[in-house]
Amino acid sequence: MIAHLFNAPLEENEAAVGVGTVGSSEAIMLAGLAFKRKWQNKRKQEGKPFDKPNIVTGANVQVCWEKFARYFEVELKEVKLSEGYYVMDPKKAVELVDENTICVAAILGSTLNGEFEDVKTLNDLLVEKNKETGWDTPIHVDAASGGFIAPFIYPELEWDFRLPLVKSINVSGHKYGLVYAGIGWAVWRSKEDLPEELIFHINYLGADQPTFTLNFSKGSSQVIAQYYQLIRLGYEGYKNVMENCRDNMIVLKEGLEKMGRFNIVSKDDGVPLVAFTLKDHTNFDEFQISDLLRRFGWIVPAYSMPPDAQHITVLRVVIREDFSRTLAERLVADVEKVLHELDTLAARIRMISSTSSVTVSEEVVKNNGQVVATKKSALETQREITAVWKKFVLERKKLNDKMNGVC
């Protein structure tokens, strides 16, 4: 069913293959191993060195790609990001490809801002480069987040097995597959794309059972749950859920935009999430907003972007099926409260700073022997500012205690 969802060629003489995994991390490890082994086998047949494989990704990839590269001794060649462009540039990616590249990994739904990378352009550019060089560098699509979104609300978007160089795709069932945590899927275009030598066959359970996994004993409940959801909801059911997530994302995004305090760095066409950054960092930053939102019961992560956009700090809210319009409106209201509190605190600090000297070392100024004013040292001023901050935090804590201990 998932192979059909990803438009795998399922003719009589063709058959996609796949495996259930513990999340997309294991699925990516297995897909990477398949690419590495297939590349090594080809290099051996050609009598060429096969000891320096590399993989091309964007700097925005999830940490499991770095784990794969380190654990299985594959060089990771990252396309750096830039301000305003937070996904892998397909042109720069293809420029990094060489004869030792086992695959180029594209992301359908970046962890950082939910944006879909342009797999179609990557495929077209890579087709041309393969023709020029005689290589056959393939593409893997990391659709951990977007694999259960794009087929339902962006069906015309070409990112999957409709593109000839896409040989494997991974997707997480526990994200937008609507299953509880612990299930992922890896799907290959055809049996030829998964080297047979990586598959083990056992028959002590009563029949031949092929297995390709890095994990061992695990429950089948998530597999059953995924099957149940696909059968119960069907195409229209999943489409309704994803459209509702997108609509609630728009509500949250528009509410944040109306404040005039944030730049939205996520895209409307992508994973339903809102990633945003402050326009003005003079008085406070995204980390302080994240910290205060916890006191209203929200866990909104703040993080810095990867190189070369590490100077950009972002807040991110992911919209799941249980995040209603009411919750979106409540979050907007709570963000406004947090901004008001931080503005108030900044005003208090400015007031203290304006009435205190932080540079004059003299403690007493005399006029004809008379004491005119006592000026505070830098240390004393800093202590006053700290005291104001502590008082503010304690007041917030008392308020939270009155609100039934919401934290």
CATH classification at residue 278: 3.90.1150.160
Please state the rounded mean pLDDT for residues 354-383.
54
Considering the domain architecture, whether residues 140 and 42 belong to the same structural domain is answered as yes
Considering the domain architecture, whether residues 35 and 166 belong to the same structural domain is answered as yes
Is the Cβ–Cβ distance between 185 and 27 less than 8 Å?
A: yes
Asked if the model's pLDDT at residue 406 lies above 50, the reply is no
Q: Is the dihedral of CA 248, 179, 68, 136 positive or negative?
A: negative
Q: Report in angstroms the alpha-carbon separations of 11 from 4, 7, 15, 76, 161.
A: 11, 11, 7, 35, 13
Considering the domain architecture, whether residues 53 and 157 belong to the same structural domain is answered as yes
Considering the domain architecture, whether residues 36 and 77 belong to the same structural domain is answered as yes
Question: Residue 346: its pLDDT value, please?
Answer: 84
Question: Residue 229: its pLDDT value, please?
Answer: 97
**Burial profile 309-330: b = 16 or more Cβ within 10 angstroms, e = fewer:** beebbbbbbbbeeebeeebbee
Dihedral angle computed from the Cα positions of residues 242, 65, 285 and 271, in that order, rounded to the nearest 10 degrees: -10
Question: Residue 348: its pLDDT value, please?
Answer: 82
Residue 375 lies in a domain: yes
Question: Residue 363: its pLDDT value, please?
Answer: 44
Residue 343 lies in a domain: no
Question: What are the beta bridge partners of residue 114?
Answer: none
Over residues 208-223, the pLDDT tens digits come to 989 999 987 888 999 9
Please state the rounded mean pLDDT for residues 230-235.
97
Distance CA 245, CA 405 (A): 30
Residue 339 lies in a domain: no
Over residues 140-165, the pLDDT tens digits come to 999 999 999 999 999 999 999 999 99
Place of tokens 């097995």: 161
Last residue of a domain, one of 211, 229, 247: 229
Considering the domain architecture, whether residues 202 and 280 belong to the same structural domain is answered as no
Asked if the model's pLDDT at residue 19 lies above 60, the reply is yes
Asked if the model's pLDDT at residue 373 lies above 70, the reply is no
Is the Cβ–Cβ distance between 141 and 119 less than 8 Å?
A: yes
Asked if the model's pLDDT at residue 358 lies above 50, the reply is no
Distance CA 103, CA 72 (A): 14
Last residue of a domain, one of 229, 254, 284: 229
**Burial profile 48-74: b = 16 or more Cβ within 10 angstroms, e = fewer:** eebeebbbbbbbbbbebbeebbeeeeb
Helix (H, G, I), strand (E, B) or coil at 86: coil
Residue 338 lies in a domain: no
Considering the domain architecture, whether residues 71 and 182 belong to the same structural domain is answered as yes
Q: What is the CATH number of the domain that holds 197?
A: 3.40.640.10
Considering the domain architecture, whether residues 310 and 359 belong to the same structural domain is answered as no
Asked if the model's pLDDT at residue 170 lies above 50, the reply is yes
Distance CA 143, CA 149 (A): 9
Distance CA 289, CA 275 (A): 14
Question: What are the beta bridge partners of residue 55?
Answer: 76, 103
Asked if the model's pLDDT at residue 243 lies above 70, the reply is yes
Q: Which domain holds residue 270?
A: 234-333
Considering the domain architecture, whether residues 98 and 219 belong to the same structural domain is answered as yes
Residue 346 lies in a domain: no
Residue 350 lies in a domain: no
Please state the rounded mean pLDDT for residues 33-47.
97
pTM of the predicted model, to two decimals?
0.86
Asked if the model's pLDDT at residue 263 lies above 90, the reply is yes
Residue 155 lies in a domain: yes
Is the Cβ–Cβ distance between 233 and 178 less than 8 Å?
A: yes
Question: Residue 108: its pLDDT value, please?
Answer: 98
Asked if the model's pLDDT at residue 315 lies above 50, the reply is yes
Please list the alpha-helical segments (H only) found in 148-280: 150-153, 221-259
Considering the domain architecture, whether residues 263 and 278 belong to the same structural domain is answered as yes
Asked if the model's pLDDT at residue 391 lies above 90, the reply is no
Considering the domain architecture, whether residues 305 and 389 belong to the same structural domain is answered as no
Considering the domain architecture, whether residues 315 and 281 belong to the same structural domain is answered as yes
Please state the rounded mean pLDDT for residues 53-77.
97
Considering the domain architecture, whether residues 154 and 47 belong to the same structural domain is answered as yes
Is the Cβ–Cβ distance between 348 and 388 less than 8 Å?
A: yes
Residue 363 lies in a domain: yes
> How many structural domains are present in the chain?
3
Average pLDDT of the chain to the nearest whole number: 90
How many C-beta atoms lie closer than 10 Å to residue 171's C-beta?
A: 31
Which candidate, 281, 278, 301, places its Cα nearest to that of 291? 301
Last residue of a domain, one of 168, 194, 229: 229
